[in-house]
Structure 1
Amino acid sequence: MTVDQVKPQLVFVHGIGGSRDPEQELADWKGALAEGAADTHPAAAKFLDKSVSCSFACYADLFATAGAQGGAPGGASAEEIEITRVLMVELLDDVLELPDQSGNPLLRRCRTQLASGEGAQGVLNVVRVVSAAVTALLAVPGANLASRALSRMELLGMLSQPGRYLHRGAPDATGLTLDQRIRDRVHACLDPARPAVVVAHSLGTVVALEALSEYPGRTALFVTLGSPITTRAFVWPLLRPRPPATPETVDDWADFRDGDDPVVPKRRLVKAIRPNGRGVQPVSQRMDSVVFFPHGAERYLRRREVAEPVLRTLTALAAWG
Structure 2
Amino acid sequence: MTVLEALKPPVRQMSRYFNETSLRRDILNRVGAHIDEKTKVVIGHSLGCVVAYEALWELADSRSRNNVDLLLTVGSPLGLPPIYNRLRRRPHGPPTGIRSWVNIVDPNDIVAAAHDHAKLFPDPHRGDVARRTEMTGKPLSVDNGSAPHAGTHYLIKQVCAFHIAKALDPPPS
Structure with larger Rg = 1
1:230 matched residue in structure 2: 79
Q: CA RMSD in A?
A: 2.5
SS in 2 for 1:256: strand
Equivalent of 1:159 in 7, 11, 26: 11
> Is 1:282 matched with 2:139?
no
SS class of match (1:312): helix
Which structure would you say has the larger RCO, counting Cα contacts within 8 Å and 6 or more residues apart?
1
Q: Does 2:157 align with 1:303?
A: yes
Does structure 2 retain, via aligned residues, the 8 Å contact 1:248–1:276? no
**Cα offset, 1:136, TM superposition:** 2.2
Q: By how many angstroms is 1:282 displaced?
A: 3.1
Q: For residues 134 and 144 of structure 2, what CA distance do their matches in structure 1 show?
A: 29
Q: Deviations over 1:7-55 (max 9, x none)?
A: xxxxxxxxxxxxxxxxxxxxxxxxxxxxxxxxxxxxxxxxxxxxxxxxx
- 1:218 and 2:67 are equivalent in the alignment: yes
Alignment partners' CA distance in 2, 1:267 and 1:288 = 13
Paired with 2:68 and 2:36, the residues of 1 have a C-alpha distance of 10
Q: Would you say the 8 A contact 1:260–1:288 is kept in 2?
A: no
Match of 1:292 in 2: 146
TM-score by length of 1: 0.46
2:45 maps to a residue whose letter is H
Give the residue type in structure 2 aligned to 1:185.
R
| Deviation for aligned residue 1:260 | 1.2
Give yes or no for the alignment of 1:257 onto 2:123: no
1:305 and 1:290, CA in 2 relative to 1: closer, same or farther beyond 3 A? closer
Contact 1:259–1:286 (Cα < 8 Å) also in 2? no
TM-score by length of 2: 0.82
What is the one-letter code of the residue matched to 1:260?
N
The residue that corresponds to 1:196 in the other structure is: 40
Q: Work out whether residues 116 and 139 of structure 2, in 8 Å CA contact, stay in contact via their aligned partners in 1.
A: no
User: SS at 1:291's partner residue?
Assistant: coil
CA deviation string 1:58-81 (max 9, x = no partner): xxxxxxxxxxxxxxxxxxxxxxxx
Runs of 5+ consecutive residues of structure 2 not aligned to the other structure = 126-130
Equivalence map 1:1-321=2 (5 Å): 135-137=1-3, 156-169=8-21, 177-192=22-37, 194-215=38-59, 216=63, 217-232=66-81, 234-266=82-114, 268-277=116-125, 278-280=131-133, 282-283=135-136, 284-289=138-143, 291-316=145-170
Q: CA deviation at 1:178?
A: 1.0
AA of the residue aligned to 1:300: Y
8 Å Cα contact 1:247-1:276 kept in structure 2: no
| Identity of matched residues, % | 28
The change in CA–CA distance for 1:161 and 1:308 in structure 2 (over 3 A counts) is same
- Counterparts of 1:261 and 1:196 in 2: how far apart (Å)? 27
Gaps of 5+ in 1: 1-134, 139-151, 170-176
Q: CA deviation at 1:304?
A: 0.6
Amino acid at match of 1:167: N
Q: How many residues align?
A: 162
